[in-house]
Amino acid sequence: MPETTRGAAAERVAPLTRGTSILGGIGNTPLLRIRMFEKELPGVAVFGKAEFLNAGGSVKDRAALRMIRDGEASGELTPDRIILDSTSGNTGIAYAMVGAALGYRVRLVMPTNVSAERKALIAAYGAEIVYSDAQEGSDGAIVLAQKMRADNPGTYYMPDQYNNPSNWRAHYDGTGAEIWEQTDGAVTHFVATLGTSGTFMGVSRRLRDERAAMARAASSAGSRGHSRRGSPLRLVGPAAKTRFRRGWYLRMFNAAAAHVLRPPCHPNG
């Protein structure tokens, strides 16, 4: 983004508001200036969307809330049904938080090797955890969750984060619209990492609708020869991941990603 087009919006932050629910703390996150590239790229301003400031601590709060609300609107999610999905962490935390706020039971399928911190957060919100084989990674969790729903179809509402269009629509209507407004329409490039791909697809679609020449780059990180989550790359339920058509795709391994991303913590706070 050219420095000269930013104006007063460069240091803009989201306004403080008073809400009646923790769900009011989802969205409207600020843009933070990242200065580590300025010596190499003078005149270019780089900003990061501070999604860690969402109520549940990640960008996944947006999609979880949207999928649950859309499930209510469609009649698929009713008070007697349990919210069920597979997760490797952040979406599970978001489901658990939103479910607790709205009064739903939440049951999540996770590989046994998910971090203790994520397990503790999910349990603190009152959600139930069903563990899948760590060697099967996220694919194994997806398969087990699908079997649980098939065995008890009247018991569960399964948002299916990997294939639910409400995932990317949360970012089309929310994250992408915020970025456009916060930059006063000056943004020219958008970069995001891929998980379910909902953030990348929703934001990039919104920004391309605003500016047809918007440049987009998607990135994923992982160990060599493995998927981002550490299991062989089989991509069960990859519908969302097949929609990327034009732009750049960058493959970055964990060690390289850490080397690039850790320095900003010092000069940028």
Tell me what pLDDT residue 218 has.
84
Tell me how far apart the alpha carbons of residues 162 and 170 are, in angstroms, rounded to a whole number.
14
- Provide long-range contacts, Cβ within 8 A and 24+ apart, for 111-117: 111/136, 111/137, 111/138, 111/140, 111/141, 111/229, 113/230, 114/88, 114/89, 115/89
240 shares a domain with 111: no
Give me the pLDDT at residue 11, please. Answer: 45
**∠ at Cα 263 (260, 2), nearest 5°?**
75
| Shared domain check, 237 and 214 | yes
Sequence-ordered list of residues with C-beta below 8 angstroms from that of 230, at least 6 positions apart, any chain = 113, 137, 222, 223
What is the distance between the alpha carbons of residues 31 and 176, in angstroms, rounded to a whole number? Answer: 12
Confidence at residue 217, expressed as pLDDT on a 0 to 100 scale: 87
What CA–CA distance (Å, rounded) separates 69 from 83?
12
Mean pLDDT of the chain, nearest integer: 83
49 catalytic residue (yes or no)? no
Tell me what pLDDT residue 264 has.
53
pTM for the full model? Answer: 0.81
Q: Can you give the pLDDT at residue 12?
A: 45
Q: Are residues 36 and 67 in the same domain?
A: no
CATH code, domain with 115: 3.40.50.1100
Report the pLDDT value the prediction gives residue 235, as an integer from 0 to 100.
37
Whether residues 105 and 46 fall in one domain: no
CB atoms within 10 A of CB 196: 23
Lowest mean pLDDT among 4-8, 66-70, 148-152, 258-262: 4-8
Q: What is the pLDDT of residues 146-197, one digit of tens each?
A: 999 999 989 999 999 999 999 999 999 999 999 999 999 999 999 998 888 8
Indicate if 132 and 204 belong to the same structural domain.
Answer: no
For 23, the domain range is 3-58+173-265
In a domain, 162, yes or no: no
| Ramachandran angles phi, psi of 213, nearest 5° | -90, 15
Query: Do residues 68 and 130 share a domain?
Result: yes
State how far the Cα of 176 lies from the Cα of 185, in Å rounded to an integer.
11
pLDDT of residue 267: 55
d(CA 103, CA 78): 11
d(Cα 199, Cα 169) in Å, to the nearest integer? 9
- pLDDT at 262 > cutoff 80: no
Same domain, yes or no, for 67 and 150?
A: yes
Tell whether 255 and 209 lie within a shared domain. Answer: yes
Number of domains in the chain: 2
Whether residue 177 sits in one domain with residue 148: no
Q: Which of 125, 157, 189 is the last residue of a domain?
A: 157
pLDDT of residue 38: 86
Q: Could you report the per-residue pLDDT of 5-63, keeping only the tens digit for each?
A: 344 344 444 455 556 789 999 999 999 999 888 888 899 999 999 999 999 999 999 99
Using the 3D structure, point to which of 100, 126, 157 is the last residue of a domain. 157
| Of 93 and 37, the one with more pLDDT | 93
Domain boundary among 130, 157, 184: 157
Adjacent-strand bridge partners of 192:
218
Sheet holding 189-193, edge to edge: 189-193, 215-222, 248-253
In a domain, 167, yes or no: no
User: How is residue 154 annotated by DSSP?
Assistant: T
Name the active-site residue from 49, 60, 119, 241.
Answer: 60
Domain identity same for 122 and 188: no
**Residue 40, phi-psi category: left (phi > 0), alpha (psi -120 to 50), beta (remainder):** alpha
More confident residue, 206 or 153: 206
Q: What is the pLDDT of residue 258?
A: 55
Q: Quick check: is 102 in a domain?
A: yes
51 within 8 A of 59, measured Cβ to Cβ: yes
Residues 219 and 177 occupy one common structural domain:
yes
Q: Does residue 212 fall inside a structural domain? A: yes
Report if residue 165 sits inside a domain: no
- When pLDDT is cut at 50, 70 and 90, the band that residue 247 belongs to is low
Answer whether residue 164 is part of any domain: no
89 and 129 both lie in a single domain: yes
pLDDT at residue 10 in the model: 40
Q: How far apart are CA 119 and CA 106, in angstroms?
A: 13
